[in-house]
Structure 1
Amino acid sequence: MKTIAAFLLVLCHLAISHAWNCNKFSGLSDVQQIDAGQGQVAATDKHNHAYLLSGSSWYRLPSDNIKHVTVGHAGIWAVDTSNYIYKLVAGKWSRVNGLLKQIDAGGNLFIAGANHINNAYCLKTSDTLGFKGVGIVSWTQMPTSLMYYSCGPYGCWGVDTSDRIYLTQSVTPSSCSNSGWTQISGALKMVEVGSDGSVFGVNASGKVYQRIGITSCVPQGTTWTQLPMSMTMKHVSYDLGKLWVVSTSGQVFQCTE
């Protein structure tokens, strides 16, 4: 019986890992980073231009020096090549005080991100939604060192400079307090959380992984499974059943199960 159960488990994981169908998504080249959330998709290219997807066409957002862009519950935010932070307000980038190198709008109406010395920060809901283009916001430094940081409905995930993976199961949007960080097995150079709690990441070898078994009761999931890709990848994001992957050559792929 144990042998049969083990075989079925392996078969299940094989089915999961081979269930994704990926196709090249045209219209944008030399892509560096992509982010999907709340039905929107944004990306940046090697020229530090930011784009927003509408239908099957990419539309360029203002500014020529955006290196990381994010979309989600908290709106559209970005950081530029000088690590300055911006929020898209009435179609224009409005600068927000503070410095970040990576930013994420996938939390429950709060912003998360990491700065140039790998300190993790959170922006509470009142400041995230309250910023309309003027005024000062108050960032809360999280008690951990992360170089990449992404949030979803079941907590926030991050990776440090040694590719170690961490999870905090609860961040309070109104105060940015958290439940403490737990190290998760595995090694990734970046990790992204989807709006439904799905977690995907890319390791130092350009391989894409999905965290299996995530539920509201088991926010840490159970194991990682590698998704077969035709080439090495550098960035990934997930929303509404679609996995967006960027290859090391800057090509965008859209994958569906």
Structure 2
Amino acid sequence: MKAAAAFLLVLGCLAVSHAWKCTEAPRLSYALQIDAGMGMVVATDAYRRAYFLSGRSWYRLGTTALKHVSVGPAGTWGTDTSNRVHKLVAGNFKRANGLTMQQVDAGGAGQLVGSRPSSYLAFCLRKTYALPYTGVGGTAWSTLSRRLKYFSCGPLYGCWGVDTSSRVFLTRAMSPTSCGTSGWLYVKGITMKMVEVGTDGSVFAVSTKGKLYQRVGIGARRPQGTAWRFVQTCMDVQHVSYDLRQLWVVTTSRSVMTCTNVKSLAVDK
């Protein structure tokens, strides 16, 4: 009963946010992390089970225990509790031989990016390795000479990451064929524990205090945007992802919500 009451409290608060209309997502008990891309939504729970959303129901995604899962142009990838990397192949996850990663992201232009455990060094797997990989043979990760504890890419305006001091950095461009970057730009402001990039270039982040923010002013001429806009919530946020104008939120109470930007809908009409 307490869990249900907490969920309704969070839902009511988000629903009256000035820009976002939120509804209850299909119920996934003890949700831990969520990722949206290519029209798909995947998630993991506290029991290290991976799921995908179809209609109003969640279904198990493979049988491998995963702590983090990501879907995008590079495919569906995940990391297990031993930081081993896996790719979804023919309905089940196949272990990718090579470096271990504590978190991976498949949302770029075909490349896969990840952060190493302990050292938090950032790496990139070129799309020539990531796209055709079937679980056979090794992987050749390219180092990016940057320490990031969380890393996310989009196909339009580059990649964003959070370093070990919770500072946010952006590389305006990353080549999917060479993993070359345009250099890293420090995005001043709020300290974050994670940041996610949508396929349209939208960027959302969760602060070290569990507050949700959207980066505004992003465009081709200014991919770093202009400011962080606070998105009001009643309870702290655990994780967030965004795709096709849908914002997916996991709270620290392990509830899942989906939100739509009402201002964008008004412009379309």
TM-score (norm 1): 0.92
Match of residue 148 from structure 2:
146
1:125 to 124, 127, 131: 127
Match of residue 231 from structure 1:
235
Match of residue 172 from structure 2:
169
TM-score (norm 2): 0.88
Match of residue 105 from structure 1:
106
Match of residue 208 from structure 1:
212
Match of residue 155 from structure 1:
158
Shift of 1:210: 0.3
Give the unaligned 5+ runs of structure 1.
1-16
Distance, in Å, in 2 between the alignment partners of 1:56 and 1:228 is 26
1:181 to 180, 184, 208: 184
Shift of 1:125: 0.9
Do the aligned partners of 1:47 and 1:64 also contact (CA within 8 Å) in 2?
no
Match of residue 37 from structure 1:
37
Q: Which has the higher strand share?
A: 1
Do the aligned partners of 1:30 and 1:46 also contact (CA within 8 Å) in 2?
yes
Do the aligned partners of 2:36 and 2:243 also contact (CA within 8 Å) in 1?
yes
Q: Deviations over 1:55-111 (max 9, x none)?
A: 111001122520000011111100000000000011111111220011100000010
Distance, in Å, in 1 between the alignment partners of 2:26 and 2:90 is 28
Distance, in Å, in 2 between the alignment partners of 1:176 and 1:193 is 17
Shift of 1:229: 1.3
Match of residue 92 from structure 1:
92
Give the unaligned 5+ runs of structure 2.
1-16, 262-269
Shift of 1:199: 0.2
Shift of 1:201: 0.4
SS of alignment partner, residue 43 of structure 2: strand
Distance, in Å, in 2 between the alignment partners of 1:80 and 1:147 is 16
Match of residue 10 from structure 2:
none
C-alpha root-mean-square deviation of aligned residues, in Å? 1.0
Which amino acid in 2 is paired with 1:104?
Answer: D
Shift of 1:142: 0.8
State the percentage of identical aligned residues.
51
Distance, in Å, in 2 between the alignment partners of 1:240 and 1:133 is 30
Q: Which range moved further: 56-65 or 92-101?
A: 56-65
Do the aligned partners of 2:27 and 2:256 also contact (CA within 8 Å) in 1?
no
Q: How many residues align?
A: 241
Distance, in Å, in 2 between the alignment partners of 1:248 and 1:64 is 24
Do the aligned partners of 2:159 and 2:172 also contact (CA within 8 Å) in 1?
yes
Do the aligned partners of 2:173 and 2:182 also contact (CA within 8 Å) in 1?
yes
Do the aligned partners of 2:157 and 2:201 also contact (CA within 8 Å) in 1?
yes
